[in-house]
A = this chain, B = another copy of it.
Amino acid sequence: MIDFAAVEAAFAAHAEADPTYSAQLAVHIGAERVVDLATGALQADSLLPVYSSSKGATATVVALLVERGQLDLDAPVASYWPEFGQQGKAAIPVRQLLSHQAGLPGVDGGFTWEELLDHDPLATRLAAQHPFWRPGAGFMYHAVTIGTLADELVRRIDGRPVAQVLREDVTAGRGIDLWIGTPASEDGRVVEALPPTMEELTAGPLPPMGGDPLAGLSLPAGDPLAMFSLVNEEHFRRVGPPAAGMLASARGLAALYAATCHELQGQPRLLSDDTISQMSQIQVAGVELGSGLDARFGVIYMVPCPPRWAFGGVGTFGHDGAGGSLAFHDPNCDVSFGYTVQRLPLPGGMDARAVELARLVREALRAG
């Protein structure tokens, strides 16, 4: 019997240290949920906008097409999506597109939130875009466009958008509580994501931008702080852009990753070991254009890259969100981990408390 008292104590200590701390933590060992905590304004079944942790669900839908033999990561994107072959992009393989290497973090002249939410306008512009760098010459986090690119690819192959495949083939039958395109029926459980306080925003360290002209490409035009309110709007939640529009509980996040390799509620595991190997394999590693920071990506999934992203051992795959959430599966200890937090911790991205909680989970396993 494994004792997670230290994990629970640390979670409680965070709440004690900060009375506004509102967070959820859920952990599976194998198929079984062994940790299930919530504090502050969040109940264990509250749903929170999780920003880029959405990409982990989108990645899992892509993985499902790989599992089914419908998507070959080495095939040209244009073989599934012919219009994509414009502007010298005919040969770009799927794995390059889905690991932030194809030079499409944005489009000439910028794009709007409306184009993103309508999907088709942005997908059409991305298909017609000349890559900002020679595909493969570098990589930069496609913060928003990777969702549109993956979504269009899934639509062309499966006929359904990512949101629908996720619901019908992944979450519904398995009781996985997360939603890309959250229906009104769930609105009663939704809790608003909170931005950093004004004190934090003016005093705290903002993400380094380094003046790199590429850095400005990846977000929609307009005030970047608008995102903080947008994620809480009903229309945004209903549509759910696959890069950043998911709502989830920690329970849902942990269950999503557990379902990749374990039977849940009588439904078969989603992915074979071979598909997981393909998706979690490091596709790109090094200094990211735009931020100048070290990063590594699998196929859409993030993979650990210390010291910035020290969330697991070899073969771990997952994703974090700007709002502080973190979710992953670590095959070395068969841990599936889900964490949400209501208030975005600066500088944004995975909450340091989540990484510490993940460390304590592993310590408990070693002791247990």
* A→B interface (CB under 8 Å): 87-88, 95, 103, 108, 130-134, 137-138, 210-214, 216-217, 274, 277-278, 281-287, 289, 304, 306-307, 310, 312-316
Given contacts A88-B278, A133-B285, 10 further A-B contacts (CB under 8 A): A95-B134, A108-B315, A130-B274, A138-B285, A210-B306, A211-B310, A213-B304, A213-B306, A213-B313, A287-B287
Chain B residue with Cβ nearest A313: B213
Chain B residue with Cβ nearest A129: B277
* Contact partners of A217 in chain B: CB under 8 A: 314
Name the residue among A210, A213, A304 with the largest chain B CB count within 10 angstroms.
Answer: A213
At the interface, is chain A mostly helix, strand, loop or mixed?
loop
Supposing A216-B314, A314-B217 touch, asked if A282 and B137 sit within 8 A by C-beta, the answer is yes
B137 near A314 (CB under 8 angstroms)? no
Question: Which of the residues B210, B216, B282, B316 comes within 8 Å of A134, measured between beta carbons?
Answer: B282
Supposing A138-B286, A213-B304, A306-B211 touch, asked if A281 and B132 sit within 8 A by C-beta, the answer is yes
Question: Which of the residues B130, B216, B278, B312 comes within 8 Å of A281, measured between beta carbons?
Answer: B130
Supposing A217-B314, A289-B285 touch, asked if A306 and B134 sit within 8 A by C-beta, the answer is no
Name the residue among A133, A137, A211 with the largest chain B CB count within 10 angstroms.
Answer: A137
Question: Which of the residues B108, B211, B278, B285 comes within 8 Å of A307, measured between beta carbons?
Answer: B211
B138 near A214 (CB under 8 angstroms)? no
* Contact partners of A313 in chain B: CB under 8 A: 213
Chain B residue with Cβ nearest A74: B88
